[in-house]
Amino acid sequence: MAERLLEIDNLRVEYHTDDGVVTAVEDLQLHVEKGQTVGLVGETGAGKTTTALSIMRLVPAPPGRIVSGSVHFHGEDLLHKRLDEIKKIRGNKISMIFQDPMTSLNPVLTIGFQIEEAVVLHQGLDARAARARAGEMLRLVGIPPEREGDYPHEFSGGMRQRVGIAMALSCNPELLIADEPTTALDVTIQAQVLELMKRLRQQFSTSMLLITHDLGVVAEVCDQVAIMYAGTIVEYADVNTLFTNPRHPYTRGLFGSIPSLDEEVTRLNPIKGLMPDPTALPSGCKFHPRCPMAGEICKTRVPQTTNLGQGHSVHCMIYEGLVPGYEE
């Protein structure tokens, strides 16, 4: 088996707000193997971004708090490291690409300076080597190195995301966390950026945790997929299995909600209802109020992980034999 680069266990993150305690992530299990790209899929409020921020120890506190669990990176628990140790890992061994790179780029510094700064800080390169490195990174993402003297606002959205990628890769990280990296982009630009990410991933053999709500992007770039709902992962499988044989009712519902380009579907078959109120999550299985298959037991019992073989696991009472399942 390949080496587990990142392993998250029983992670629980809460936000303490005026309206009550929001459990953003609950008993989360997830791992990323070396060289793999894992897609973390879910809707708004599922806890995807909180998961990513927990890995980087960037959950805003207060109101956020990592209550329990562990995040092992190379076998060491990041949650128990000192802040100065974490800072050596952040942006160096683990780096992040954001949805809107404008928020992660400093508007008053040139992009060249910002890349060089990271390289000098983490890799200990001297100014000249850092400059060469920045130019090289920019060329790699398809930006002429002459533009390193430009400021973030002088780039278009797609170009800015390339700068974000160049910055994230400048220290040659082992793990890249990409939080909706193409959501803000137009489809033709998204195609460029996805192509670039695929190419660079091969070139650098970086592992990646890709957070997205777009199953199309997942099919395009991921090896493994984790489907997240209301703070927990409800299904985990490799991309082929998940797309050809989705098991969890929520996963199936997601597929039923997407309009298809190549098939004639007159009516979509959406999941009924809405995301639950995060301050008052349903008891038992959190998906039961929206689940077409739910039985009585789903209201009270929390589903356990069922292994369906070949790394395909699902959190649903159907597969524990407690609720009648689908007629196949």
Partner 1 sequence: MENLLEVRNLRKDFQTKKGLLQAVNDISFNVRKGETLGIVGESGCGKSTTGRAVLRLVEPTGGEVRFEGQNILGYSSRKMREARKDMQIIFQDPFASLNPRMSISQIIAEPFDVYRMYNPSERAQRVQELMRTVGLSNKLVNSFPHELDGGRRQRVGVARALALSPKFIVCDEPVSALDVSIQAQILNLIQDLQQKLDLTYVFISHDLSVVKHISNRVAVMYLGKFVELTTSRQIFANPLHPYTQALLSAIPIPKVNVEKRQRVILEGDVPSPVNPPAGCIFSGRCPYVMPRCREAPPPVVEAEPDHFVSCYLVSDKMPPHVPATAHSAGDSSPT
Partner 2 sequence: MRTETDDIIQSSDEHPGELPEKLSPDEHPPLTPAPELSKRRGQWGEVWRRLRKNRTAMFGLAVVLLIIFTAIFADVIAPYSFRVQNLDRIAEAPSRDHLLGTDDLGRDILSRIIFGARVSLQVGFIAVSISIILGGTLGAVAGYYGGRMDNVIMRVMDVLLAIPSILLAIAIVSAFGGGIVNVMIAVGISYIPVYARIVKASFISIKEQEFIEAARAVGARDGRIIVRHILPNSLAPIIVQGTLGVATAILSAAGLSFIGLGIQPPTPEWGAMLSSGRHLIRSAWHVATFPGLAIMLTIFALNLLGDGLRDALDPRLKQ
Q: β-pairing, 37-41 with 94-97?
A: unpaired
Residue among 126 and 266 whose Cβ is closer to partner 1:
266
Give which of 4, 71, 55, 8 is closest to 33, Cα–Cα.
4
Residue 243 touching partner 1 (CB under 8 A): yes
Distance of closest approach, residue 255 Cβ to partner 2, in angstroms: 15
SS3 content of the chain, % helix, strand, coil (to 5): 35, 25, 40
- The rounded Cα 55 to chain-centroid distance in angstroms is 11
Residue among 130 and 254 whose Cβ is closer to partner 1:
254
Residue 239 touching partner 1 (CB under 8 A): yes
Residue 227 touching partner 1 (CB under 8 A): no
Q: β-pairing, 207-212 with 37-41?
A: parallel
| Euclidean distance between CA atoms 92 and 56, whole angstroms | 11
Residue among 107 and 259 whose Cβ is closer to partner 1:
259
Q: Give the strand order in the sheet containing 224-229.
A: 94-97, 175-179, 207-212, 37-41, 224-229, 232-238, 313-315, 305-307
Q: Which does 243 bind (CB under 5 to 8 A by kind): partner 1, partner 2, none?
A: partner 1
Residue from 18, 84, 261, 321 in contact with partner 1 (CB under 8 A): 261
Asked if 177 and 94 touch (Cβ cutoff 8 Å), the reply is: yes
Asked if 233 and 30 touch (Cβ cutoff 8 Å), the reply is: yes
Residue among 130 and 225 whose Cβ is closer to partner 1:
225
Residue from 68, 269, 283, 310 in contact with partner 1 (CB under 8 A): 269
Residues that bind partner 2 (CB under 8 A): 18-19, 269-274, 276-277, 279-280, 289-290
Distance of closest approach, residue 317 Cβ to partner 2, in angstroms: 18
| Euclidean distance between CA atoms 22 and 16, whole angstroms | 6
Q: Which does 280 bind (CB under 5 to 8 A by kind): partner 1, partner 2, none?
A: partner 2
Asked if 118 and 186 touch (Cβ cutoff 8 Å), the reply is: no
Residue 259 touching partner 1 (CB under 8 A): yes
Residue from 7, 43, 100, 117 in contact with partner 1 (CB under 8 A): 43
Segment contacting partner 1 (CB under 8 A): 7-15, 171-179, 187-195, 279-287?
187-195
| Euclidean distance between CA atoms 197 and 186, whole angstroms | 16
- Binding residues (CB under 8 A) for partner 1: these are 43-44, 156, 158-159, 186-192, 194-195, 213-220, 239-240, 243-244, 253-262, 264-265, 267-272, 274-275
